Amino acid sequence: MELDDVDLSNRRITVGCHVRPLDDLTRRAVLDWLDHRRSRWPNTAHPHPLITQKTAVELGPAGKLWATRATRDLTAALERFRVDRQLEEALIHGADPLHHALVFGIDEKTAIRYADSARRLLGAELEATPPDRALGPAGSR
C-alpha cells in the first residue's frame, strides 16, 4: 500500500487492488499515524504510509516482522481486528457472501463461512429480542 491508496476526502482506501470504504475508526487511526509520521520524519518522501527509522530514508515498505513486533503486546491482535471487521461487514450487509468476497478480496468458501457466522449471530439476536420490541415502536414493522 502507498500513500496514494488512502483517499481521506472520499473516505476510501485501496488494499490489494480493492477499493474499500474507510470507516471512522480506521480513518482516525490513519490520520493519527500520518500526524505521527509527519512529526517524526518531516522530510521523508517515502511513498508507503507505514515506515520505520530505517525505511524512512529508503523506498521499500516496512516489513511484516516490524508490523508483527509493533503490535505484539496489544490487547487485540491484528488478526482479531481483521476477523472482527469482516464479521461486522457481514452483519451490516445482510450476510451476503458475494459482497463479502468483493469487499475483502477473499475466496468464496471463506466468504460463505463469514456469512454463515453472521446469520447465526443475527438469528441469536432476534431470538433474544422480546416479541414486543421485535416489531418496533407501537408494534409496527
| Average pLDDT across the chain, whole number | 76
Q: What count of other Cβ atoms lies within 10 Å of the Cβ of residue 20?
A: 18
Read off the pLDDT of residues 71-110 as tens digits, 9 standing for 90 and up: 666 666 667 777 777 777 777 777 788 888 887 778 889 8
pTM: 0.51
Give me the pLDDT at residue 4, please: 86
Task: Spell out, as residue ranges, where the chain has pLDDT lower than 70.
Answer: 58-61, 63-78, 124-141
